[in-house]
Homo-oligomer: A and B are copies of this chain.
Amino acid sequence: MKQSELFSKTSKTFPSDEEAVNAKYLIKGGFVQKMSAGVYSFLPLGLRVLDKIKNIIREEMNAIGAEELLMQSLVAKEYWEKSGRWHTNVAYEFKSPFGEEFALGWTHEEVISAIAKHFINSYQDLPKAVYQIQTKFRAEQRAKNGLLRGREFLMKDLYSFHTDKENLEEYYQKVIKAYQKIFKRLSLKVKLTEAAGGAFTKEYTHEFQLLHPTGEDTIFYCNKCEYSQNKEIAVVQKGVQCPTCGSGEIQESAGIEVANVFKLGTRYSEAFNLRYAKPDGSQELIVMGSYGIGPSRIMGALVEVYNDERGIIWPKSIAPYQAHLIEIKGKGVESRARKIYKNLKEAGVEVLYDDRDVSAGQKFADADLLGIPWRAVVSEKTGDQIELKARDSQTAKLVNLEELLKKIK
């Protein structure tokens, strides 16, 4: 992509109405645009990042045998009434001009239970798991922290169906492992943390918490073992001995909840009379699980973790482009830069080519702001070579085209 043709542009200044680092950098860089409080549009650069996050999640969901589908956003009142979740404090509810009442989908346990009723009848149909990646709507009183807490955001929600608690437990652990793979691929270090179930279940659940000062949750965790609890259920305090391993000391940190897993049990299958026939013909309630992960929130969290005073530092797996080719105007430079751009594209490298008619200083500043992993500079000074620098490194190196391709690919 030629940067001169890119729809978005970087801004000279930070947005005046945002405090969170993720929103400031993402808006300044032209990744997202704020449309109203807690509501963002994803510009081409931002959508590229979002799609990469989605695809990593999708691959790991498919790998644990989950099938993708797409449920509706206009969820009629009758669905919520069955589960007792009409008039919650997080839903946008409204009446249509023709009298039907809807809540915009903020979660889909009700809908998937109604759908599953058509297809799951027997123990032979179980277990099953389906997921969707979809825009969700939540009426947050105070939308804040940019993409970390929006009123409209992207969510991957997975639902699983089982004959019994043991079978659910097995899949629950599988999903936890899949989530751990996802966060590894996203370069995010998360803590699996015990928490309360909120509006979803009365059982304890698990959250994936990214320890970070901007987080809204408070986490107590052990500095030696895996023990970690959300403050809302925690039985320990900072500084005490770990109740699990006995040798570690409990630490306190703010955390960004980037995913969660719920053992729903039979709460929704009861509400929707979702049953299966056992081998002996008797009818039994289906045991369910639900598992959420937020691609747009993750995009914000990545920026919170990976940045410096000059801009974003995208991990390679989700960077909008792998290489940022920068042409510094000078004699013979343009034709060389164009050739390298062509070579990179032909080699399958995702490259943003800064062919704009602006100063070298602005090009470098924008490259740092956009945070593409590799910066490749072509100028009169570099001769037949290319000055290659990683975004997270201070040192540049002159390389030839072959070395460039080898490094970047």
Contact = CB atoms under 8 A, between A and B. Distances in A.
B98 A67 contact: no
Most chain B beta-carbon contacts within 10 A, residue among A7, A11, A76, A151: A7
A79 to B, nearest CB: 8
Contact of A74 (B7, B96, B130, B137): B137
A235 interface: no
Instruction: Tell me if A's interface is mostly helix, strand, loop or mixed.
Output: mixed
Q: Could you say which interface size class chain A belongs to?
A: 35 or more
Contacts of A96: 92, 139, 151
Contacts of A119: 7-9, 30
State how many copies of this chain the complex holds. Answer: 2
Contacts of A9: 118-119
A296 to B, nearest CB: 10
A73 B135 contact: yes
Interface stretch (A42-50, A236-244, A369-377): A42-50
13 contacts: A7-B67, A8-B119, A33-B115, A41-B70, A41-B72, A41-B111, A47-B68, A50-B70, A72-B152, A93-B94, A94-B95, A96-B139, A97-B139
Interface of A: 5-9, 11, 30, 33, 35-37, 39-44, 46-47, 50, 65, 67-76, 89, 92-98, 100, 102, 104, 111, 114-115, 118-119, 128, 130, 135, 137, 139, 141, 151-152
